[in-house]
């Protein structure tokens, strides 16, 4: 607190004006840590994160029990774990945004950190971080299942997933999480955003396939407009330069552009 004395005319008692120092800006690292903790400190958030490990263990166990152990390899375990991951991770992306409105904490958050862009940037960073760590955890569980299978059968474990292939799988899931986060920004309502995500990955591919069966032009060019068609190629590996170009275009159409629109809506909306 500082004090400033104002000179007064003769015969007038001088007054003292007190000014409050401007508080230091909250570091982005602290904003990011707080937003990360908020994703875990509720029951729904905790169990959603825990479900990543739980479903990985269940999928791996079922693969060992029900699969043909003599032919099982690391790719089989990765495929079995990848299916539940492709559902859970985007929901985490959705709730990273919509939880602020469903739990009515947005007003508090944006009061403590008035720069909403910094809060949204922290949510994006945490979403990508959780996606990468989750895939590493799933990879570890799958590797353990592959080792257990080799001990049971007496065969040497087969490690047929390269680093490049795993990086593409991580990228595919990260894009799914960003799509969920984008829908969360657009709707700011958990049920609506989750339903929108399942429509995007379950309904739209069917419509695209039906259109391709009757329209030759769409069958030849669907890869430039259908995000699912190009994103799912990442799970198979071996993308050509043409495939990467289509992935870039569809990601811009379905993720980048809606993300910018959703961000603008959040920045301009009145929080109650």
pTM: 0.86
pLDDT surpassing 80 at residue 9: no
Query: Using 50, 70 and 90 to split pLDDT, how confident is the model at 71?
Result: confident
Q: What share of the chain is helix, strand, coil (3-state, %, to 5)?
A: 75, 5, 20
Are the C-beta atoms of 142 and 219 separated by less than 8 Å? no
Are the C-beta atoms of 141 and 53 separated by less than 8 Å? yes
Domain boundaries, the chain: 26-191, 199-260
Are the C-beta atoms of 153 and 54 separated by less than 8 Å? no
Tell me the three state secondary structure of residue 6. Answer: strand
| Average pLDDT of span 39-64 | 87
260/19: higher pLDDT? 260
Query: Using 50, 70 and 90 to split pLDDT, how confident is the model at 124?
Result: very high
Of all residues in the chain, what percent carry a pLDDT higher than 90? 42
Which helix (H) or strand (E) segment holds residue 2: the answer is strand 2-6
| Average pLDDT of span 186-210 | 91
| Average pLDDT of span 202-230 | 89
Q: In the prediction, which pLDDT does 126 show?
A: 95
Q: In the prediction, which pLDDT does 197 show?
A: 94
Model pLDDT for residues 134-153, shown as the tens digit of each residue: 999 988 999 999 999 999 88
pLDDT surpassing 70 at residue 68: yes
In sequence order, the 6+-apart residues with CB closer than 8 A to the CB of 47 are none
pLDDT surpassing 60 at residue 90: yes
Q: In the prediction, which pLDDT does 16 show?
A: 58
Q: In the prediction, which pLDDT does 269 show?
A: 84
What mean pLDDT is reported for the chain?
A: 87
pLDDT surpassing 60 at residue 15: no
Q: In the prediction, which pLDDT does 18 show?
A: 64
CA distance 157 to 178: 34
């Amino acid at each position: 607190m500082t004090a400033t004395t104002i000179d007064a005319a003769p015969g007038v008692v001088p007054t003292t004006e007190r000014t409050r120092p401007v508080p230091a800006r909250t570091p982005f690292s602290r904003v990011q840590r707080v937003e990360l903790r908020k994703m875990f400190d509720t029951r729904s958030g905790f169990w959603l994160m825990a479900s990543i490990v739980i479903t990985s263990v269940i999928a791996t166990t079922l693969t060992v029990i029900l699969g043909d152990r003599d032919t099982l390899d690391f790719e089989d375990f990765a495929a079995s774990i990848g299916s539940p991951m492709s559902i859970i991770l985007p929901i985490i992306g959705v709730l990273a945004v919509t939880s602020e409105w469903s739990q009515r904490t947005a007003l508090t958050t944006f009061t403590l950190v008035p720069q909403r862009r910094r809060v949204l940037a922290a949510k994006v960073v945490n979403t990508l971080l959780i996606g990468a760590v989750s895939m590493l955890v799933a990879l570890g569980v799958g590797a353990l299942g592959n080792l257990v299978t080799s001990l049971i059968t007496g065969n040497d474990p087969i490690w047929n997933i390269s680093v490049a292939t795993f990086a593409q799988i991580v990228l595919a899931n990260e894009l799914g999480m960003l799509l969920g986060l984008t829908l969360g920004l657009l709707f700011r309502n958990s049920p609506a955003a989750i339903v929108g995500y399942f429509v995007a990955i379950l309904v739209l591919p069917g419509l695209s396939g039906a259109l391709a069966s009757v329209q030759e032009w769409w069958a030849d060019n669907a890869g430039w407009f259908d995000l699912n068609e190009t994103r799912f190629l990442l799970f198979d590996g071996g993308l050509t330069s043409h495939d990467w170009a289509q992935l870039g275009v569809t990601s811009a159409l379905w993720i980048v552009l809606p993300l910018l629109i959703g961000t603008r809506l959040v920045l301009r909306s009145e929080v109650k």
